[in-house]
Structure 1
Amino acid sequence: MMLHLAQTTGEPAGGLAGWAVDMIDALGGAGLALLTALDSMLFGALPVDVLMPLVGYTATQGAIDIGTAIVCATVGSVLGSLVQYALCAHLGPDRARALLLKFPGVKTETVDRCEAWFARHGAKAVLFGRVLPVIRPLISIPAGAERMPLPKFVMLTTLGTLAWTSALLLSGYVLGENWHRVTDIAGTFSYVALGALAVGVVLLVVKRRNRRRKEAANELGENARTDVK
């Protein structure tokens, strides 16, 4: 059984965060899995990114095994993502988008960005989107609406989610009483990752253009040789 998180850390419990803390406190690893599942289904509406470093810190106090926490958080998040995927696969792109925009806090430009990200990168969007703050809660929507092959979706979602939950939980575990600094570190990392991916996209576009120009030049050369013959 977990120690009381609020007592272990000295953090006050109240509101949505307090409810989440109570759930983990009462159910342990199962509570963490349920919380991450709900967070995935509700488009990142719960304070999971803040609570997981806290849980990582409590693991240093014997509240929960850090390995168990990583597994439970990952499994819960993947299951929640599968619910999103199945719902949107059933609804299709247009109805899935209309449903998504009805949720409080979900903006049209955010949905547009997520859909464009998936349209441009496909499978890579699902994998790397799990570490980006804007894309992560929504990437299952276009993947499901476009009916991405389910085994591929599960594999990429699991890998990306495992990387992100491990980073949050282990950061809290390593930082100890300074676990609350993880939020700032994670935000910085997310923007660095987003910048790196943007640079990668530019390089990829340049590489493809150069390849097309080379192919066009080769084709013109072959046509010229044919005409000479």
Structure 2
Amino acid sequence: MLLSAHLPLLQTGILGRLMAWLEHLMVVIGAPGAALAVFLENVFPPIPSEVVLPLAGFAAANGHFGLVEAIAWTTAGSVAGAWLLYWVGQALGVERLKAIAGRLPLTAPHDIDVAMGWFDRHGGKAVFFGRMIPGVRSLISIPAGLHRMAPFSFTLYSALGSLAWNALLILAGHQLGAHWTRVEAWVASVQDVVMVLLLAAAGWFVARRLRARRAQREDHQGARAAGSEPELIDAH
């Protein structure tokens, strides 16, 4: 077994047992087992791609399947997982998401229109690069489904982005051999940077929205003090 000798961080717990089962699929079934592992990694984020993909590269280095097979099959699994999340976004729908946004603090239905407008202009690039960003690569399929991105374009950009990401991590695992677990630490560093940027963006959004609401209240109070009652303008 590959994991028992080379994956000490996942020796115990449900995730460890799941990873051991996925590793068993790669050994017994071959490259299609790697595709299934990557499919599950796409739809179940606690399974880390930075473990599954280098493991597939290590399995290829040990002769369980070819390197090209590993890249091709895992890319197919990635696209299948991306499509499942695309359908989740499509089933949710923009109108339902607007209704949810209208009930949440600091958000409004207009925010969804703005996001959809941005995706209309940059959807292809968002999907392509999103498939290569840890923490984002799976979730990017949901707004694509919400936007009902053209199926051919979604498949093409998902496949190209997944191919680049999968090939990078599989080749790293293949070259590192028994030290393939080092890839997880490298990707974790990138993911930490991504999370900091996302949190910073969220903080900026909240601060901006709070300032807009405070300014609106002050304008309203000033108008009332002056003896007039202006029509409120949505700060969203």
**Matched residues in 2 for 1:73 and 1:95: separation?**
33
Q: For residues 64-117 of structure 1, what are the alpha-carbon distances to aligned partners after superposition, in whole Å with 9 as ceiling and x for unaligned?
A: 211111111100110111122123223313547999xxxxxxxxxxxx9xx959
Shift of the 15–31 alpha-carbon distance from structure 1 to 2, 3 Å rule, reads: same
Amino-acid identity (%): 37
**3-state DSSP of counterpart to 1:36:** helix
Secondary structure of the 2:35 match is: helix
Verify the 8 A CA contact 1:96 1:141 in the aligned structure 2.
Answer: no
> Which residue of structure 1 aligns with residue 76 of structure 2?
75
Q: Distance in 1 between matches of 2:122 and 2:143?
A: 12
Amino acid in the other structure paired with 1:180: T
What displacement does 1:174 show? 1.2
Partner of residue 132, structure 2: 131
Q: What secondary structure, in the 3-state scheme, does the structure 2 residue paired with 1:135 have?
A: coil
Q: When the two structures are aligned, how many residues end up with a matched partner?
A: 178
User: Which deviations, in whole Å up to 9, do the C-alpha atoms of 1:96-148 show, x marking residues without a partner?
Assistant: 7999xxxxxxxxxxxx9xx9596473221100011111211100000001101
Correspondence 1:66 to 2:67: yes
- Alignment partner, residue 55 of structure 2: 54
The aligned residue for residue 32 of structure 1 is: 34
Q: Structure 1 residue 141 and structure 2 residue 142: aligned? A: yes
Aligned partners of 2:148, 2:36: CA distance in 1, in Å?
A: 25
Letter in 1 for 2:87: A
Which residue is equivalent to 1:177?
178
CA RMSD in angstroms comes to 3.3
Question: CA 1:41–1:93 in 2, change beyond 3 Å: closer, same or farther?
Answer: farther
> Cα distance, 1:16 vs. partner?
2.4
Q: 8 Å contact 2:39–2:77 — kept in the other structure?
A: yes
Provide closer, same or farther for how the CA distance between residues 189 and 10 of structure 1 changes in structure 2, counting only shifts above 3 A. Answer: closer
Aligned residue among 2, 5, 23 for 1:5: 2
**Structure 2 gap segments, 5+ residues each:** 101-110, 197-236
Change (3 A) 1:136 1:98: farther
Q: Distance in 2 between matches of 1:160 and 1:128?
A: 6
Deviates more, 1:171-180 or 1:15-24: 15-24
| Structure 1 residues 17 and 75: alpha-carbon distance in aligned structure 2, compared to 1, 3 A threshold | same
Which runs of 5 or more structure 1 residues have no equivalent in the other structure? 100-111, 196-229
CA distance in 2 between partners of 1:125 and 1:150 (Å):
15
Q: Distance in 2 between matches of 1:75 and 1:86?
A: 17
TM-score of the two chains, using structure 1 as the length reference = 0.65
Mapped to 2, the partners of 1:82 and 1:136 lie a distance apart of: 12
- Distance apart, 1:7 and its partner CA: 6.5
State the partner residue of 1:16.
Answer: 18
1:105 maps to what in 2? Answer: none
One-letter identity of the residue aligned with 1:33? A
Residues 150-161 of structure 1: pairs in structure 2 closer than 5 A: 150-161=151-162
